[in-house]
Structures are given as structure tokens and as C-alpha cells.
């Protein structure tokens, strides 16, 4: 198989390097037709925050993978910063297996990444829009889509939060089910707190208050999450209004005390409240967890949840690999048949052409009724004569290394003087 892959990812390049070679979908739509015109028969360019990979079939043996790598680097004006050594080169079924691992989420920085399959589909659709997807890449990428879908539905590779921020959202959804009717409060503006708030907003939380010592930072986050800025001293009064509190500030004393939360619960009519303390040292008085209908989680418990889920995902990888093996076998079978089928058709067409030309010479020597009988008889003879060669061509091609299979098919074509038109 002539399929080629050149790419880099989180395993071979730092984020500083990856961002230099990242292509948006809009950029991909502009550059991909040029890449195909210069180097490829067909191609798909996949670019995400964790990888940039070009899949394609070279126009000729004279074109080298290094030329594609240099082109990708130069087009982003990243020469001198991104080095060819950051890239890997894969061919044939190794390239396909890699794509199936990407689509199923087991080659991601985050094992079981649920976004990557959609990103693979987006890359393929851009290539289709550009008119640069041929028969091979069409089949390869649809195999990848099927593999990713099976991995998600037949295994638990994407189940369970594997980050602290997402674990917090999972807890919130378990407690409240529907976040669209809930309010949240973000105390502090650290990275983990920000990511948690981002996930909460993505899951539809209706309102978000943001409190921080630096008002400018709070305002920036408020704009990002469509939230409302409050002062630190307003926190006790707002507690009764919110359902989820995420705290991550550096303080000498607890920013949330037992009495403050007890008071808020009373005002809430004992409606549940989830408090997530991801501050180090802790921001929330530990005995708050003894208050009825208060759910208190700290960074250790969230990390424990994330670690447990991550280990469970790792245990699912062999199941995903089995799905990949099954889908790869189907693709290999399709490819082998795809190579053999045109040759068999040419062989049958050649014999049919000879048969038709020969009986036409004697058409006037038979009555119409007798000519129909001769026509049917010669067709039957041709089918019987070609049955064994057809079966043998198919069976002799199966299981052979690709180089041997190509030689065998070429031999058949030369033996019978076949030329594909």
C-alpha cells in the first residue's frame, strides 16, 4: 500500500513546537490543495493542539517524505524553530494502525479523548471539500470513524473523568443532574479553578460569580465565562444563592468557615451545596463536611477519582486494540480485493471481447434463433473456462506480502496481455 504519514505529536514535540506547526481548518482548506498538487495523488491534513499529521499517497517515487515535512514547516514560517527531527514517518498499514489509534483515543495525551474523533472527521471533511480525497483515503478514514465509534460504544475507554477539573464537574452532575438550573461561585483564579469553571459553563451552569483579590483578573474571567464579579467580602452573603463553590486561593485562614456555610444552608432551606476546595493550603474549614446536605471535596479526593478513572481507562486499551485489529483486517481484505478485482474484470472483459468479435463473424450464417443459442453457449463456455483462473487469482493473492501480490497481479496482466483503460 502506498499510503504515507508524516507528522509530529505530543510524544515527539513540545507544546511550543506543536503550536508553531498548527493549522486551523481554514488554513488547511487553503494549503491542502497545494500540497496535493505538488506532492500527492490524494491527502488529508489533521491538525490539533496535540498533533499535526499529513496522510497521503505520493505522486511518484521521486518525491520523498522529507519534502512534505519541509513544506509544512516552511508554510508556517517555522524553519529554525521546528526541526524535521520532531517528525515521524510511517507507511502502509503502520500508518493506518496509527490513525485508528488516534481516532479511538488511545494515542492521545488524554487517554480516551472524546474530542479527537470529531477532529479527525473535520479534517476529512475539509479534504473532501477540497476535492483531494480518493478511493484509498475514503476507505481508510471511514474505517477510522467506525473504529472510534466502536471504541466508545464497546469499551469504557472514554468513561470517567481523568482530570481534577473534570472530576469536579462529574461530582456536580451526580449531585444535581441538571446544571442548567444551578449557580456557581469561583473563588480565586488559578488554572485548575479556571478549567473547572470552564467545564461547568460548558455543561450549562446558569450563572457564575467570580471573586478574586485582583479585580482585573476576576473581570477577565467574568468576560470569558459570561460571569459576574463580586468582592471577597460579599462571599458569605452569596453562599445562600449558589449551588457549587470552587475555591483556590492562597490564604492564612479559611475563606469559608463552618458557621458561614451552616448559615447559608439554613437560608437555602437545606438545599444541597457542593464545595470544591482545590486550594493548597486548604481554603475551607474541614468540619464543614459534617453539615447536612453539604458535599465537600478537596484536591486529594478529586485526584483520587481522576487517578482511579485513568487506571480504568488504561485497562480498556487491550479491548480497543482488539477492535483496531478487527477493523484493520477488514481494511486489508478490502484493499487486497480492490487490487485483484480490476485485474479479474480486465481478464473477463478481454475474453468477452474476443468471444463477441468471433461470433459476430458468423452471425449471418445462423438464423436469429440459432445465433441466440450460439451466443448463450459461448458465454457459458467462457464463464466455465474463467471460473478456476478467477478463483485462483483471488486465493493466490490472499495472505501474500504486498510486494509479492503486486508482482503476481502484474504477471497475470502480462500473461493475458491486459491493459487497464
* Contact between 210 and 230 (Cβ < 8 Å): yes
| pLDDT, position 400 | 67
What pTM did the predictor assign? 0.68
Q: Is 82 annotated as a binding residue?
A: no
Which cell is 386 given? 474463467
Three-state secondary structure string covering 234-271: HHHHHCCCCCEEEECCCCCCCCECHHHHHHHHHHCCCC
Residue limits of CATH 3.40.50.720 in the chain: 164-292
Q: Is 376 annotated as a binding residue?
A: no
Q: Is 134 annotated as a binding residue?
A: no
Q: Give the C-alpha separation, 128 to 281, whole Å.
A: 53
Q: Is 49 annotated as a binding residue?
A: yes
Write the CB contacts of 418 (distance below 8 Å, at least 6 apart in sequence).
343, 346, 347, 350, 412
What b/e string do you get for 190-208 counting C-beta neighbours within 10 Å, with b at 16 or more?
Answer: bebbbbbbbbbbebebebb
Of the options 3.40.640.10, 3.30.460.30, 3.40.30.10, 3.90.1150.10, the CATH number for the domain spanning 3-158:
3.30.460.30
Q: Is 202 annotated as a binding residue?
A: no
Q: Is 114 annotated as a binding residue?
A: yes
Q: Give the C-alpha separation, 79 to 82, whole Å.
A: 6
Q: Is 151 annotated as a binding residue?
A: no
Residue limits of CATH 3.30.460.30 in the chain: 3-158
Q: Is 51 annotated as a binding residue?
A: yes
* Contact between 75 and 32 (Cβ < 8 Å): no
Specify whether 130 is catalytic.
no
Catalytic residue among 38, 49, 280, 415: 49
Q: Give the C-alpha separation, 44 to 54, whole Å.
A: 6
| pLDDT, position 399 | 63
Q: Is 50 annotated as a binding residue?
A: yes
Low-confidence ranges of the chain (pLDDT < 70): 397-403, 406, 419-421
| pLDDT, position 421 | 46
Q: Is 283 annotated as a binding residue?
A: no
**Domain 164-292 in CATH: superfamily?**
NAD(P)-binding Rossmann-like Domain (3.40.50.720)
Amino acid at each position: 500500500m502506498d499510503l504515507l504519514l508524516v507528522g509530529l505529536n505530543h510524544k515527539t514535540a513540545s507544546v511550543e513546537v506543536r503550536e508553531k506547526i498548527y493549522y486551523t481548518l481554514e488554513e488547511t482548506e487553503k494549503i491542502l490543495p497545494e500540497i496535493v498538487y505538488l506532492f500527492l495523488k490524494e491527502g488529508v491534513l489533521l491538525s490539533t493542539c496535540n498533533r499535526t499529521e499529513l496522510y497521503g499517497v505520493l505522486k511518484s517515487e521521486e518525491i520523498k517524505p522529507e519534502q512534505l515535512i519541509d513544506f509544512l514547516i516552511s508554510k508556517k514560517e517555522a524553519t529554525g524553530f521546528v526541526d524535521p527531527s520532531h517528525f515521524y514517518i510511517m507507511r502502509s498499514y503502520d500508518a493506518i494502525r496509527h490513525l485508528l489509534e488516534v481516532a479511538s483515543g488511545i494515542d492521545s495525551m488524554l487517554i480516551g479523548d472524546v474530542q479527537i474523533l470529531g477532529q479527525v472527521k473535520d479534517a476529512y471533511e475539509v479534504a473532501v471539500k477540497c476535492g483531494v480525497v480518493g478511493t484509498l483515503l475514503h476507505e481508510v478514514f471511514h474505517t477510522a470513524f467506525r473504529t472510534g465509534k466502536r471504541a466508545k460504544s464497546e469499551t469504557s475507554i472514554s468513561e470517567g473523568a481523568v482530570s481534577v477539573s473534570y472530576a469536579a464537574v462529574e461530582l456536580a452532575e451526580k449531585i444535581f443532574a441538571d446544571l442548567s438550573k444551578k449557580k456557581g461561585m469561583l473563588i480565586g483564579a488559578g488554572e485548575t479553578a479556571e478549567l473547572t469553571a470552564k467545564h461547568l459553563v460548558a455543561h450549562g451552569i446558569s450563572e457564575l460569580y467570580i471573586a478574586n483579590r485582583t479585580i482585573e483578573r476576576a473581570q477577565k474571567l467574568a468576560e470569558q465565562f459570561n460571569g459576574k464579579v463580586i468582592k471577597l467580602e460579599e462571599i458569605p452573603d452569596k453562599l445562600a444563592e449558589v449551588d457549587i463553590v470552587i475555591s483556590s486561593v492562597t490564604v492564612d485562614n479559611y475563606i469559608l468557615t463552618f458557621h458561614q456555610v451552616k448559615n447559608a444552608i439554613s437560608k437555602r432551606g437545606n438545599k444541597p451545596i457542593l464545595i470544591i476546595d482545590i486550594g493548597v493550603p486548604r481554603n475551607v474549614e474541614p468540619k464543614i463536611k459534617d453539615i447536612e446536605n453539604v458535599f465537600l471535596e478537596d484536591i486529594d479526593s478529586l485526584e483520587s477519582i481522576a487517578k482511579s478513572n485513568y487506571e480504568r481507562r488504561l485497562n480498556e486499551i487491550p479491548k480497543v486494540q482488539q477492535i483496531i485489529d478487527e477493523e484493520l483486517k477488514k481494511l486489508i481484505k478490502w484493499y487486497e480485493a480492490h487490487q485483484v478485482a480490476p485485474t479479474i474484470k480486465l481478464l473477463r472483459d478481454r475474453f468477452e471481447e474476443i468471444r463477441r468479435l468471433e461470433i459476430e463473424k458468423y452471425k449471418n450464417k445462423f438464423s436469429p434463433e440459432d445465433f441466440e443459442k450460439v451466443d448463450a453457449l459461448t458465454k457459458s463456455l467462457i464463464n466455465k473456462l474463467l471460473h478456476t483462473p478467477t478463483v485462483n487469482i483471488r486465493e493466490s493473492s490472499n495472505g501474500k506480502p504486498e510486494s509479492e501480490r503486486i508482482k503476481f497481479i502484474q504477471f497475470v496482466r502480462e500473461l493475458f496481455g491486459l491493459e487497464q483503460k
